[in-house]
Copies of this chain bind each other. A is one copy, B any other.
């Protein structure tokens, strides 16, 4: 490398250094680290292995005793999860760094991780109900195996159910890293804060957005491109924590590319919303909603 090149690289490094020092986020003290995205993705994958044994790992489930497979995999999940929760909590409480503070944070991390493990059988039951809903609702689905293996909707729901559990505990960073991992793989963006009932069904799914304060009942079906969003976000951070996304009651179906906005908007139970609708006010229960037959303009093409 020529001297001139070396010099210019050094100059650029100095400039970057100045940019770094203007940003608090790049000043990290010894012992402080950010959670590790790749470790968190590993945790999601280990949980998937134990929720669906035989589907995603190398183990041949014909030869292993499933309960002992579950035990050893749960121990791995516990360890990894405890470490990442600990890191996330320590990073978030930069100013609490006495030995007592750290001990306190470590105790919390242990309790959160263990709580998650204890809840996993219940979460698995929910996810297996989602599998049933996917199979029952999609004429193109060949079997539960196909749903588990291939369906992006199921994967997004699976990750949501895990991330939501950690979100409820108030753990920073990790739930969102998980949900954005699923978003990246599926195009389905479910904020971990949303509350979603049993037998949730998503088909195709690309472009779906379900906001942080959305509530969804049991047995709801949602298709690609559906947004359950906020009416306006002009106030930015001032809206943090405010209910700004819709409520969808039991047994509702929302077809493709429909947008439903607003924290006071409720779609009543058993209603069916046609594709391409734009809804900013509540819909009563037991209603079929569609846009007035869209007038098309047809001209001969010469």
A residues lining the B interface (CB < 8 Å): 1, 5, 8-21, 23, 25-26, 28-35, 37, 50-56, 60-63, 66-68, 70-71, 74-75, 78-79, 91, 110, 114, 117-118, 120-121, 124-125, 128, 135-146, 148-152, 172-173, 176-177, 179-180, 183-187, 189, 191, 193, 203-204, 206-207, 209, 211-212, 223-225, 227, 229-230, 233-242, 244, 253, 256-257, 259, 261, 270-272, 275-279, 283-284, 286-302
Q: How often does this chain occur in the complex, in copies?
A: 3
Of all chain B residues, the one with the shortest Cβ separation from A120 is B12
Chain B residues near A128 (CB, 8 Å)? 19, 23
Residue among B142, B189, B259, B299 making CB contact with A172, cutoff 8 Å = B142
In the complex the two chains form, what is the Cα distance from A135 to B24 in whole Å? Answer: 15
Q: Is the CB of B272 within 8 A of A301?
A: yes
In the complex the two chains form, what is the Cα distance from A246 to B223 in whole Å? Answer: 17
> Known pairs A16-B50, A16-B70, A187-B206. 8 more at Cβ < 8 A?
A20-B53, A143-B172, A152-B184, A229-B275, A257-B257, A272-B301, A286-B301, A293-B297
Q: Is the CB of B118 within 8 A of A8?
A: yes
Q: Is the CB of A140 within 8 A of B212?
A: yes
